[in-house]
Amino acid sequence: MEKIRVHDTVRKFSKDQWDALNTEANPFVAYDFFLSLEEGQCVKGQSGWHPLFFCAFENETINSAAVIYLKTDSYGEFIFDWDWARAYQEHGLVYYPKMTAAIPFSPITAPKFLGDHKQIEDELLPALWDFYQKNDVSGLHFLFTDTNEGKLLQKIGLIERDSFQYHWHRDHCLSFDDFLGTLKKNRRKSIKRERREVASHEDLKLITYNGQEITTEMVSFFYKCYLTTIDKKWSQAYLTESFFQNLIQRLPQSVILVIATEAEQPVACALYLKSQTTLFGRYWGAIKEIPFLHFELCLYQGIELTIKHGLKVFEAGAQGEHKRLRGFRPVLTKSWHHLKHPQFFPAVKDFLKRERLGIEQLFNDFENESPIKKDVKD
């Protein structure tokens, strides 16, 4: 049998062997996450995401793995290359398909390589690069990578791209009041005022449900809320109710659902996932507009959950200046890129240098306008 194998479904692998590689118990690279995507028809078909599971075996045991997607568009990536695709089209060139390592529809810094580090560098990555070179794809892209992955990708010629998100780091906070104590007076007062406004609704209650407590009816209500958010943003519902039902059933230890009820009737909710170190704020929605409820469900409840579970970081999702104003720090995120075209690749390199300078200036501005007290250390 070949030592390096490529399959288009996670079903080709043993769940126990796959999850043994996921040493951080990150839900976004768990066997059941990929299976839920497939069964929910969120990948394959017309989704634009066609999985390629690269695995290195030793005596029929998976020692290392990487999940790459053959992409026929750039939807659901959150690292935007639409201008690159448009430039290709304007010059009569084909940009799709491309190869992308990312968590579908999730701006998550999660492992792109799993397993034995030496085998990844010596065998799996060269095999992946060889596959890329031999097939008719325009480029190879790794999105939301960690530092060690960046070092590997730089060695084979990919170039770095900076972007940023807003994360909350628990540091030494043991309570929400500890968090408030890290903020400047005006921001502290503003957050207290917002929370009081939500609490002033006498019939409004917030109830937290962990994994196995979440019923199929709760998931159906959540999905209704999810669709309202999609509609408001003029976006597309990439994820199906079937995906969420399967995910919560299969990964209950990783899922938290916070539901807001008014007069005992659900009106809004927010879904979180967690690893051993990080809380991920993923989706929210409401069927009734209540002032500041969005901030309560998506930010303040997330901070309290991070503290309660002893986690280090709360990633509240992509974009959102409102997060910075509420004590979330801007954090650089990294992606790595390679384009085969001999003229466009140097042009992209130059663009990324200029883009990086702009982000550096933004970070300087953020520091000068930070709502966090100067004497609070990272």
Instruction: Please write the tens of the pLDDT for every residue from 311-356.
Output: 999 998 777 789 999 999 999 999 999 999 999 999 999 999 999 9
Q: Is the pLDDT of residue 4 over 70?
A: yes
What count of other Cβ atoms lies within 10 Å of the Cβ of residue 1?
6
Domain boundaries, the chain: 4-157, 167-329
Q: Is the pLDDT of residue 247 over 60?
A: yes
Mean pLDDT across 242-266: 96
What type of residue sits at position 316? A
Mean pLDDT across 146-166: 95
C-alpha distances in angstroms, 254 versus 250, 251, 316, 318? Answer: 9, 6, 16, 20
Closest C-alpha among 264, 257, 260, 263 to residue 294: 260
Asked whether this chain's domains 4-157 and 167-329 adopt the same fold, the reply is yes
* pLDDT tens per residue, range 114-134: 999 999 999 999 999 999 999
Determine the CATH number of domain 167-329: 3.40.630.30
Topology (CATH level 3) of domain 4-157: Aminopeptidase (3.40.630)
* pLDDT tens per residue, range 196-208: 999 999 899 999 9
- What is the predicted pLDDT for the residue at 232? 79
Cβ-contact 287, 225 below 8 angstroms: yes
Distance, in Å, from the CA atom of 129 to the CA atom of 149, rounded to the nearest integer, reads 14
pTM over 0.85: yes
